[in-house]
Amino acid sequence: MTLSLQWLNDYLKTDLNPDQIAEALTSIGLEVEKIESSESMPGGLKGVIAGKVLTCEKHPDADRLKVTTVDIGGDKPSSIVCGGPNVAAGQTVWVAVPGTTLYDKDGNPRAINTSKIRGALSEGMICAEDELGLGESHEGVLVLSDDVKIGTLASDYYHVTSDTILEIGLTPNRSDATSVLGVAEDLAAYLTLQNDVEYKVQWPLIPEIKKADNPQAFKVNIRNAEACPRYSGILISDITIGPSPEWMQKHLQSIGVKSINNVVDITNFILHEIGQPLHAFDADKIAGREIIVETKKAGTPFLALDGVTYKLSEEDLMICDGEGNPMCIGGVYGGLNSGVSNTTKTIFLEAAHFNAGSVRRSSMRHNLRTEAAKRFEKGSDPNITVKALARAADLLSQFASGKVASELFDIYPKPISPVRIKLNLQKINETAGVKFTIQQIERILNALHMEIIEKSADHLVVTVPTNKADVLREIDVIEEILRIYGYINIPLPGKMNTSVAMESRFALHRMRRLIGQLLSSNGFVECMNMSLTSPAYYKGLNATDASSWVTIHNTSNESLNLLRPEMIIPTLETIRRNVNRKQDDLRLYEFGKSYHQHDGQPSETEHLVVSLVGQQQPVHWQSKNGNAVNFFSIKSEVHALLSRLGISNWTIRKIENESGLEYGLEYLTNNKPLVRFGKVSSAWCDKMDLKQNVFLAEFMFETMIQKASEYTAIYVELNKFPQVQRDLAIVIDDSTSFEDIQKVALKAGGEWLTNLQVFDIYANADQLGAGKMSIALRFTIDNRDATLTDKDLDQWFGKMQRALTSALKAEIRK
């Protein structure tokens, strides 16, 4: 929000400097983001001086240009090339000297320098009125009366005033600080307490609204009182459209608001002064002489002030005419065909209190972030609408010749009363860390205009003004007390106490860090996707039960309205984005949640997703064809992670065309899914326009952490007896899995078998037979009690061969 220092000082009847105001604002919780100077006219007309044209001759090389000499009060006349058709010797004109920056009426800067124009020296510029921001005309130079002295500064001639502007950051809860008077009231309360001098805000004198001599017929019909708890309005006739008074233009200019005309300027002035948005309709354009406040059917078109036609939602509150035609999105934006124009004679002036949530949703839905919407969405004061209308009626009477032409419409079916809050004095002191006396608390509450309606030795009951929409609880009032007392005045204790937080080494955030460090050290990159995705991605995939999906109403992007029901599609989105930018070899991981609902109750499941795309190693001269990732690549990453967490002893289930995986494995522990991994379905990749093979592992994070917490590290002394390795090749059915072999080998080998590896696989139907394969196994044998003898090994190896031939119908290759 933008504040004028002069405006604040006027209402406070003070002469505080910018630093004093900034310090006070910061103390009451209004952060000052920027302080800068501002002039009531663009650039302050600095460097513009009155001069007398001494000579004026045609430019030798350009017919439309003239070469002049101008006396601006210096040691010698200035040579200036001018294109103004009306420039002539003897005129008094405004001259922008070199080094000046001029601003047009739209605030666009133009630097003036000494230069040569078509070979002629030009030491400045003779100005037209539009070049000074004084008007619209560019027909010729601005000629002054002869009584203007040479050397007169334009800033003095036009009484340009300077001001200081403060940009403050408003948090969403500060509905009371959306106007100059609101901030002034807060400052007055703070300054009163800090300086032991009572500061009072000097509100403008607002006379009551006069009754119309001959009230015109008009009606107001509120059909949605929930979205519009109060609607006030009045007809003002005999309007004369013209410029607003100079002082008002200067006030608006100082805070960056462009002057339009007297009617629009008055509504903008009151918006910033009091904080109540007003809307002026051309009454002659309101069909049926009736205002209807209602919602319309979804898809109803609305032609707005910016010339854009918006499709309305059934939730948008609309201000309509008597025929139901939308004229304005309530509290947000006006329509193109109902606003004030240069021919307007009668206006209907609206001052309403709209539901904050309704305004915010409409504003965000249509991306219309207006000044009015920003105030309504914080919670406007419902009890100030008539005062704002009275202020407007008075100003319109003074500066637009307006007259009240109807009764005052004020539809307020359920008046909103100030909230009553009980304050416990002991709790105030305990929360604040300050020992307040009851007199101090009373003084602060009085300064905040919080009326004390009940008082005892240990508590107070106060009423909270309706402009403080966020102050609803005892703790909120305590915060208000501390703001005005000054956070900087709260003493720091001489001793600080803290507690040591004890947590499990398997706390989720610690395990995420451990796993992330492992994966990152192995070349993986962490990614973070939004929890929102598009339902269109899942069309035709048969991914999850759509009835369990959790959807939201996303006003920012209606296509992203689904909380992700699984993790593969969001991962493929990330892969697609990277592949489209020539990042073909990817190693990614993400911690994230999927969302479902059952019987109306939402649930979240946390996952760890690891994915591989492209080559395992960069292509180089020794491996020109590269080494593409495959199923065993992702399997090795899964085993490495499970090994690091000490997880073992799982059961295995094969996956085929299931939940996004074309093929793969699922590991289970205690019949609960631990991880599933494999090749992502081609249909899913095609849906995301991916031609690359994607291999992915999806860990059930909470199950994985629970299983990891059961692991106890066992430290074993190095074996002082030598290990022995033996190789064995067997012919088995090609449907036999390594897990089947491993299970038999571990049972037959006992404690001596410490490792089992496959180092070769061979398949040849002519030599081995159809459906057969040869697999070469390497056994690592380790006895911790004695050195293994040849007899020991022969007995052990014979037992192993018998077990394999018996259980797997294997044939020993000689």
User: Which amino acids are annotated as binding site for Mg(2+), given as ranges?
Assistant: 470, 476, 479-480
The dihedral of CA 328, 334, 336, 341: what is its sign?
positive
| Residue 745 near residue 756, CB atoms below 8 Å | yes
* Whole-angstrom distance, CA of residue 326 vs CA of residue 334: 9
Q: Provide the residue type at 555 as one letter.
A: T
**Which two structure tokens, joined as six digits, stand for 179?**
């106007």
CA dist 348 → 236, 293, 344, 370 (Å): 6, 14, 11, 21
CA dist 656 → 467, 544, 666 (Å): 63, 16, 10
Q: What is the end-to-end Cα distance of the chain in Å, rounded?
A: 88
User: Dihedral through CA 259, CA 260, CA 263, CA 267, nearest 10?
Assistant: -50
| Residue 352 near residue 376, CB atoms below 8 Å | no
* Whole-angstrom distance, CA of residue 275 vs CA of residue 372: 9
10 Å Cβ neighbour count for 119?
Answer: 10
Q: How far is CA 260 from the centre of its chain?
A: 31
Helix (H, G, I), strand (E, B) or coil at 563: strand
Instruction: Indicate the annotated binding residues.
Output: 470, 476, 479-480
* Whole-angstrom distance, CA of residue 376 vs CA of residue 359: 7
Alpha helices in 670-789 (DSSP H): 682-687, 701-709, 738-749, 765-768
User: What is the 3 state secondary structure string of 131-150?
Assistant: HHCCCCCCCCCCEECCCCCC
Those residues with Cβ within 8 angstroms of residue 191's Cβ, 6 or more apart along the chain or in another chain: 12, 14, 24, 197, 199
User: Dihedral through CA 728, CA 734, CA 738, CA 741, nearest 10?
Assistant: -60
| Residue 319 near residue 298, CB atoms below 8 Å | no
10 Å Cβ neighbour count for 712?
Answer: 6
Of 612, 593, 595, 591, which Cα lies nearest the Cα of 603? 595
* Whole-angstrom distance, CA of residue 468 vs CA of residue 480: 10
In DSSP terms, 724 is beta-bridged to: 781
DSSP H/E element including 769: none
